[in-house]
C-alpha cells in the first residue's frame, strides 16, 4: 500500500505543478495583454457639451484601445498618419460592412487594393461617431483596426506624458 500511496503522492505533485503553471500562464497572458492594450475599457468623462476619452500609451509608445464598430467589440490602434479608418478585410462581414468600389492606396507596407466602406457606428469609450469613411484592407493580417483621420478629424486631441485625451464636442462636425 505504501507504493500506491507514494505513486498517488507523485501524481498529486505533478497535477499541482501543472495547475500552478497553468495559472501562471493565464496571469502572464493577461499582463501582456494589458501592456499591449492598457485601454481595453477606456476612461470616459463628460464636461458640459464635450465627451472626453483618456488613453494611456502602451509599452511600444502606441495608443491602443478597445471600442466598437456597429456594436461589435474591436481593438483600435490610433494612427494619425492614416487618411482613412483601415479595417482588415477578413473582419468586414463580422462587422456588418459592405465592400464598395476598389481603389489603390499607398500604405506604410506599400501599395494595396482596398475596398471603400462606411462604418455606420464607431464607438470609443463614450464617444460615438456615425457614418465614418473607411477601407477594407486585404493586406492587414491581424484584427487591429487603424483608427485614421476619417474618424479622428472629428475629435480634438491633446497629448501629455503617457496620456492622450480625445475630446468630442456634441454637435460638432469637422470644426477643428
pLDDT tens-digit map of 20-35: 677 766 655 555 445 5
- Give the domain extent around 92: 37-169
Residues 52 and 107 occupy one common structural domain:
yes
How far, CA to CA in Å, does 31 sit from each of 28, 35, 82, 133? 5, 6, 29, 34
29 inside domain: yes
Instruction: Provide the β-strand partners of residue 158.
Output: 165
49 inside domain: yes
Q: Per-residue DSSP letters for 69-126?
A: ETTEEEEEEE-TT-SSEEEEGGGTTTTT-----EEEEEETTEEEEEEEEEEEEEEETT
Residues 12 and 43 occupy one common structural domain:
no
Residues 115 and 70 occupy one common structural domain:
yes
149 inside domain: yes
Is the model more confident about 127 or about 5? 127
Q: State the average pLDDT over residues 31-46.
A: 73
Most confident by average pLDDT, 25-39, 95-109, 160-174: 95-109
Residues 139 and 76 occupy one common structural domain:
yes
174 inside domain: no
pLDDT of residue 110: 82
Residues 29 and 59 occupy one common structural domain:
no
Residues 42 and 30 occupy one common structural domain:
no
pLDDT of residue 133: 97
pLDDT of residue 114: 94
pLDDT of residue 19: 76
Residues 54 and 91 occupy one common structural domain:
yes
pTM above 0.85, yes or no: no
114 inside domain: yes
67 inside domain: yes
| Domain total in the chain | 2
Residues 149 and 160 occupy one common structural domain:
yes
Chain-wide mean pLDDT for the chain? Answer: 86
What CATH number corresponds to the domain at position 162?
A: 2.40.70.10
Residues 150 and 78 occupy one common structural domain:
yes
Residues 31 and 41 occupy one common structural domain:
no
Under the banding of pLDDT at 50, 70 and 90, the label for residue 100 is very high
Q: What confidence tens digit (pLDDT) does each residue in 74-92 have?
A: 999 999 889 999 999 999 9
- d(CA 101, CA 117) in angstroms, rounded, equals 8
Residues 69 and 136 occupy one common structural domain:
yes
Residues 110 and 147 occupy one common structural domain:
yes
Amino acid at each position: 500500500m505504501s507504493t500506491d500511496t507514494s505513486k498517488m503522492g507523485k501524481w498529486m505533485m505533478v497535477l499541482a505543478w501543472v495547475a500552478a503553471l497553468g495559472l501562471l500562464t493565464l496571469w502572464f497572458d493577461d499582463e501582456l495583454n494589458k501592456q499591449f492594450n492598457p485601454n481595453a475599457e477606456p476612461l470616459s468623462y463628460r464636461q458640459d457639451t464635450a465627451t472626453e476619452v483618456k488613453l494611456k500609451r502602451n509599452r511600444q509608445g502606441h495608443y491602443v484601445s478597445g471600442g466598437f464598430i456597429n456594436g461589435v467589440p474591436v481593438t483600435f490602434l490610433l494612427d494619425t498618419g492614416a487618411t482613412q479608418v483601415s479595417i482588415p478585410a477578413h473582419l468586414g462581414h463580422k462587422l456588418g460592412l459592405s465592400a464598395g468600389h476598389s481603389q489603390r492606396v499607398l500604405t506604410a507596407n506599400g501599395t494595396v487594393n482596398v475596398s471603400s466602406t462606411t462604418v455606420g457606428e464607431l464607438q470609443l469609450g463614450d464617444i460615438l461617431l456615425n457614418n465614418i469613411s473607411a477601407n477594407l484592407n486585404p493586406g492587414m493580417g491581424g484584427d487591429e483596426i487603424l483608427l485614421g483621420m476619417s474618424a479622428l478629424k472629428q475629435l480634438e486631441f491633446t497629448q501629455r506624458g503617457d496620456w492622450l485625451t480625445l475630446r468630442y464636442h456634441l454637435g460638432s462636425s469637422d470644426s477643428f
